[in-house]
Amino acid sequence: MNSKVLSMPSPRSPGSNLPPCAEHGGTGSSASSGKPAGRGSWRRGRWVLLLVALVAAAPMIASYLAYYVFKPNLGTTNYGALIDPQRPIPDTLVVMDEAGKPMKLASLRGRWLMIAVDASACDKACATKLYFMRQVRATQAGERERVVTVWLRTDAGAVPDVIKSAYPDTRMLVADPAELAAWLPVEVNTEVNTEESTKASTLATDHIYLVDPSGNLMMRFPKDPNPSKIKGDVTKLLKWSSIG
């Protein structure tokens, strides 16, 4: 008896005309296109990372534009006098730190600086300004680390122990009075028809000054100031700018 070789049925379903790759879930597109299968996903991932970075940077960009480009409307709401144009800390302004070592005042850039100027003996008016600066900084709560209080002393005399202990967080630096006078503006008598019309009506020691994180002197508070109003100005500036 002659044996016949029986052909085995295909594992495909009867009548199926799909190619083997389709039957096993493959599309064959990667092989036919010749492109890596993950290239599109990689591009999408790159755009997603870029968008995440932009979202994260948005507050910083917005605060920069609000403060340095568009400028907040301080002219009608501020208590302190705006310094216009702003005066950068001179690169040549070298002070002596608490250890007697020279340092550039500009090295303190990066945070808001509240500055007072007085002799090292620190009379009652001096102590009052140091107290106001400390309290204004303290009332900024979680934002207070963005503010540094600075006492620029006009001589190298000894600082009273009571002042040292009361204001341990205040930088007590010695500066040349002539250099400070050239940098720090004072109030000028603007009355007309008087011989005193062009003379200064205050001294640098009468004021508290504010320097922004870029190192620009931008505000001067009046003699015998209202600390609550100083607080209001500082709070608004910290809110408008996340720099520093």
Q: Is the peptide bond before 213 cis (omega within 30 degrees of 0)?
A: no
If we measure between CA atoms, which residue out of 186, 225, 181, 179 comes closest to residue 202? 186
pLDDT score recorded for residue 193: 52
Bridge pairing between strands 208-211 and 94-96: unpaired
Residue 81 φ/ψ, nearest 5 degrees: -85, 130
Q: How far is CA 48 from its chain centroid?
A: 27
pLDDT score recorded for residue 93: 98
Q: pTM here?
A: 0.69
pLDDT score recorded for residue 130: 98
pLDDT score recorded for residue 240: 86
- Per residue of the chain (244 residues), give pLDDT as tens: 444 444 444 444 444 444 444 444 444 444 444 445 556 676 777 777 777 766 655 554 544 444 444 455 555 589 999 999 999 999 999 999 999 999 999 999 999 999 999 999 999 999 999 999 999 999 999 999 999 999 999 999 999 999 999 999 999 999 999 999 999 999 887 655 555 445 568 999 999 999 999 999 999 999 999 999 999 999 999 998 877 6
